[in-house]
Amino acid sequence: MTAPTIVADIGCNHRGDFRTALRMLEVLARYCTEHFDVDGPGPPPVAKFQKRSDMSLYPEEPHPHPHNSYGDTYRAHRMALELSIDQHMLLKLRAEELGLVYSCSVWDMIAVREIVSLNPCMVKVPSPRNQDWDIIGYLCDEYGGELHVSLGMVTHNEIDDIIEFIEKRERLRDTIIYACTSGYPVPFEDVCLGELMWLRDRYGDHVKAVGFSGHHLGIAVDAVAAALGARFIERHFTLNRSWKGTDHAASLEPDGIRRVLRDTAHIVKAMDCKPGDTLLEIEAQARKKLKEHALIP
């Protein structure tokens, strides 16, 4: 087993400020890249953003939670949080300079085409768009990188439909599916780690990997998800959980992401131990010191 890839979901937690987005990349690299060697060379963290480009999809109505709004209407709020495609291109370049992987969730067809034009190695279909056949179909047909799909807010029958749709386009081997409960934050009784095991058992031999996208509090669940076979662990990332916005409360600050990377790597390393019929060297030494004298008649 190898350590899972940690996906730091920056989303719109930069609050629409490009300089903050750049700073988040730099902080993420500083806190996480030093831990690549926990299990030998490990996968670099992923910095994932969001892109919404078709603002006609959002209502000219007040935000349902005005204290978290960055505009007078929900559409104005969404516009205030958006970065341009040119800024995303610069974020991708900066992430790669820092040893990170750039990725982005796409929320409409304009955004899909824009992000695909940057040729990232992975693109994410978020749970609210996981039954948007136009988006998934375009990615299957026009994009050659990894297709990451969160499976929140769908039934098992609907998951079968999603998998079948991608399979018909012969892209399952490029697809990573994520167990996900959509809520902000999600109480522990609704995290449903059993869903991760169900996805792994049902589709693990067909897709490239199974991951876990968590919106819970704390970091204990992530280590368990790694032990259950999640090859990608996604958590929302922020510089300050008290910032205005709906995602910050369910996000991890820099040291939290660092601990998730460290703990999941340690868990996988512990799971990989297979002593078999031969004593581990550490136990052979302990046996010689502590046990063998007791076996003398």
Predicted local confidence at residue 38, as pLDDT: 46
User: Does the CA dihedral 248-29-261-115 come out positive or negative?
Assistant: positive
Structural contact between residues 74 and 61, judged by C-beta atoms closer than 8 angstroms:
yes
* Closest to 144 measured CA to CA, from 118, 180, 162: 118
User: How many other C-beta atoms are found inside a 10 Å radius of the C-beta of residue 239?
Assistant: 18
Tokens 């300079």, located at residue: 97
pLDDT tens digits, one per residue of 179-195:
999 988 999 999 999 99
Domain extent at residue 237? 5-295
Query: Tens-of-pLDDT digits for all 297 residues of the chain?
Result: 788 999 999 999 999 999 999 999 999 999 987 655 444 556 899 999 999 999 999 999 988 888 888 989 999 999 999 999 999 999 999 999 999 999 999 999 999 999 999 999 999 999 999 999 999 999 999 999 999 999 999 999 999 999 999 999 999 999 999 999 998 899 999 999 999 999 999 999 999 999 999 999 999 999 999 999 999 999 999 999 989 888 888 899 999 999 999 999 899 888 877 777 788 888 888 888 888 666 655
User: How many other C-beta atoms are found inside a 10 Å radius of the C-beta of residue 163?
Assistant: 20
pLDDT tens digits, one per residue of 48-69:
999 999 999 999 998 888 888 8
Structural contact between residues 224 and 237, judged by C-beta atoms closer than 8 angstroms:
no
Predicted local confidence at residue 35, as pLDDT: 53
Predicted local confidence at residue 198, as pLDDT: 98
Query: HSE (CB half, 13 Å, CA atoms) of 226?
Result: 27
DSSP collapsed to 3 states, 61-78: CCCCCHHHCCCCCHHHHH
Predicted local confidence at residue 39, as pLDDT: 47
Predicted local confidence at residue 250, as pLDDT: 85
Phi, psi angles (nearest 5°) of residue 50: -125, 150
Q: Cis omega (within 30 of 0) on the bond before 59?
A: no
Give the CA distances from residue 97 to residues 47, 74, 75, 288, in Å, rounded to whole numbers and listed in that order. Answer: 12, 35, 34, 50
How many domains does the chain fold into? 1
Predicted local confidence at residue 295, as pLDDT: 61
Predicted local confidence at residue 182, as pLDDT: 94
Predicted local confidence at residue 43, as pLDDT: 86
The span from the CA of 48 to the CA of 25, in Å, is: 10
Structural contact between residues 85 and 116, judged by C-beta atoms closer than 8 angstroms:
no
Burial of 191 (0-12, 13-18, 19+ CB in 10 A): buried
- Hey, what's the torsion of the CAs at 226, 230, 231, 235, to 10 degrees? -80
What's the distance, Cα to Cα, between the start and end of the chain in Å?
Answer: 43
Show the tokens assigned to 282.
């550490």
CATH of the domain at 56: 3.20.20.70
SS3 163: helix
Show the tokens assigned to 144.
């050659």
